[in-house]
Amino acid sequence: MKIYLLIIGKKPLLESFSFKKLLTMLSDYGHDISEIKFISSLEGIKVMFDLFESNSVVLTVGETNAARELFEGIATHKGSNFYTYQSVTYFPLDSIDEKLILGTLVPALNTKSNNLCNTVIFKTFELSEADIMDLIQPIIKQAPKGKMEFTISQSGMECILKIKYMQNCPSAICNQIIFDIGKALDKYIFAKKDVSLVSQAAALLLKSGRKLSIAESFTGGGVASSLISVPGMSRCLLESLVTYSHESKMYRLGVHKEILDKYGAVSAETAYEMALGLFRNPDADIVISTTGNAGPDVENGSVGMAFFAIGDKNNIHMYRSNLSVMNAENKTEAEIREEITDMGIKSALFGLIKYLDNN
C-alpha cells in the first residue's frame, strides 16, 4: 500500500508545517510516506486523481477546507475525518493533531495495509546502543520469530529503543518481554515516547506545579536556558544563579570556605552546599546545582568530572558523572569543552526527570 503526501498550495511550507513530526509519528507505527506530490492549487488535484495507485492513502495538507468541499461532492464513502474516491482514501490534515493521527489515521492505515502492529518506545540516557543491546539481548531471545522487531538509534548520550510487535503476537509473551525490557533499562529511561530530555523535564515540572531554583557553575546557566525555551516555564522556574567563582559560591549560596579549601569546587560536598544555599529563598520547592570540570584546565580531578545535587527541603541527593567526549583526540579544546558542558546540562535535566518521577 502506498501512502502519498499531497501538499496543496504554499501555506504549509510558509507556516513551517511539521512534516518531521508527521513522518516520525507514522514511522513509529510502521508506516512511511511513499511519495510527496505538490500542486499549486486545488484545480490540479483533478488531474492527479488517476496518478494515485489503487487502494492507496493520500494525506492532504495546505488548502484542506477546499479539498474537503471537493471530496464532499465526489466521495463514494465518507468517514468522520476521511473520504474515499476511486478506491483511494483521502485524509485532510489541518495540523499535526496527535489525537486524530493516532485515533483515526493509524488504525485506518493498519487495516488497509494488513500490517497490524503497535510500537512501544523507550528513551534512555547515558547508555550507548551497545550497552542497551547487552542488557536486553537475553530478553529479546524469547521474542516470537517474526512477531517482534527491536531497533535502537543513538544521538549523543540519548538512545531511542523502538519495539514493534504484531497485533497477533501472543499478548502474554509480548507484554512480559516489554515489561522485562522496561525493568532492565528502568534507571536509564527518561520517557516512553519520542521526546527530548528538556521537553520531558519541563512537562513533568509544569505538571508538578512546584518551584525550582538552580545554581550552576560549569554549565553556565545552560540548564535554566534549556528549561525556559519551553512555554509556561515562568510558572515553575523561580530563579537561576551562575555561581562560577569560589567567592560567588560563598557569598551568594553560603558555601563554606572550609569546604572549598578541603574538597575543591568540583566535589559532592560543594554541590551539596550550593543546592542547600538555594533554600535561602523560602519559595523554592526543588533545587539543582551543578559543578564540574569542562577543561582544558582543572581545579581538582580530571576533565569531564562533574557533580550534581538535586532535592527538596527533606532530602538532597548528590551524584557524580564522568562526562567523556568520544573521539576527543580529533577535537579542539574548545569543542571538548562545549560537548562536556552540553552533557552536563543534559545530565542535570535527566536528574530532574528521575527526581520528579519518584517524588
| Residue range 80-92, pLDDT digits in tens | 778 888 888 888 8
Question: Which of 56-65, 220-229, 344-353 has the lowest average pLDDT?
Answer: 56-65
Axis-axis angle for helices 333-358, 197-208 (nearest 10) = 30
Residues 32-60, mean pLDDT to the nearest whole number: 77
- Asked whether the beta carbons of 122 and 161 are under 8 A apart, the reply is yes
Q: What is the rounded average pLDDT for all residues in the chain? A: 88
Q: Examine the pLDDT at 263 and tell me if it is beyond 90.
A: yes
From the CA atom positions of the chain, what is the Rg in Å? 25
244-251: long-range contacts at Cβ-Cβ below 8 A with a sequence spacing of 24 or more?
244/217, 244/220, 249/217, 249/273, 249/274
Residues 277-294, mean pLDDT to the nearest whole number: 96
pLDDT of 356 reads 96
Q: Examine the pLDDT at 72 and tell me if it is beyond 90.
A: no
End-to-end CA separation in angstroms for the chain: 47
- Asked whether the beta carbons of 31 and 3 are under 8 A apart, the reply is yes
Q: Pick from 8-17, 131-140, 328-337 the range whose average pLDDT is largest.
A: 131-140
Residue, of 66 and 122, whose pLDDT is higher: 122
What percentage of the chain exceeds 90 in pLDDT? 56
In the chain, what are the helix, strand and coil shares in percent, each to the nearest 5? Answer: 45, 25, 30
DSSP-assigned beta bridge partners for residue 120: 163
Residue, of 186 and 39, whose pLDDT is higher: 186
Residue, of 84 and 342, whose pLDDT is higher: 342
Residue 120: phi and psi, rounded to 5, are: -115, 135
Q: How far is CA 228 from CA 57, 207, 241, 244, in A?
A: 40, 15, 14, 21
User: pTM, whole model, 2 decimals?
Assistant: 0.71
> Quick one: cell of 295?
577543561
pLDDT of 12 reads 55
Taking the CB of residue 115, how many other CB atoms lie within 10 A of it?
15
d(CA 148, CA 162): 10
d(CA 291, CA 165): 43
d(CA 3, CA 81): 16
148-155: strand order across its sheet: 148-155, 158-166, 117-125, 189-191
Query: Residue 69 burial (CB < 10 Å; 0-12/13-18/19+)?
Result: exposed
Residues 269-295, mean pLDDT to the nearest whole number: 96
Q: Examine the pLDDT at 1 and tell me if it is beyond 90.
A: no
pLDDT of 215 reads 98
Residues 22-26, mean pLDDT to the nearest whole number: 81
Residues 20-42, mean pLDDT to the nearest whole number: 79
pLDDT of 7 reads 84
DSSP assignment string, 120-180: EEEEEES--HHHHHHHHHHHHTTSPTTTEEEEEEEETTEEEEEEEEETTS-HHHHHHHHHH
pLDDT of 20 reads 76
Q: Tell me the pLDDT tens digit for each residue of 101-118.
A: 877 787 778 777 665 578
Q: Nearest 10 degrees: CA dihedral of 206, 104, 91, 32? A: 80
Q: Examine the pLDDT at 3 and tell me if it is beyond 80.
A: yes
Domains by residue range for the chain, with CATH: 3-113 (3.40.50), 117-191 (3.30.70.2860), 198-358 (3.90.950.20)
pLDDT of 126 reads 94
- Asked whether the beta carbons of 221 and 240 are under 8 A apart, the reply is yes
DSSP assignment string, 92-129: E-SS--HHHIIIIIHHHHHHHHT--EEEEEEEEES--H
Confidence of residue 145 (pLDDT cuts 50, 70, 90): confident
Residues 332-345, mean pLDDT to the nearest whole number: 94
> Quick one: cell of 304?
569531564
Task: Report the amino acid identity of residue 240.
Answer: S
pLDDT of 295 reads 87
pLDDT of 15 reads 56
Residues 169-192, mean pLDDT to the nearest whole number: 93
pLDDT of 47 reads 63
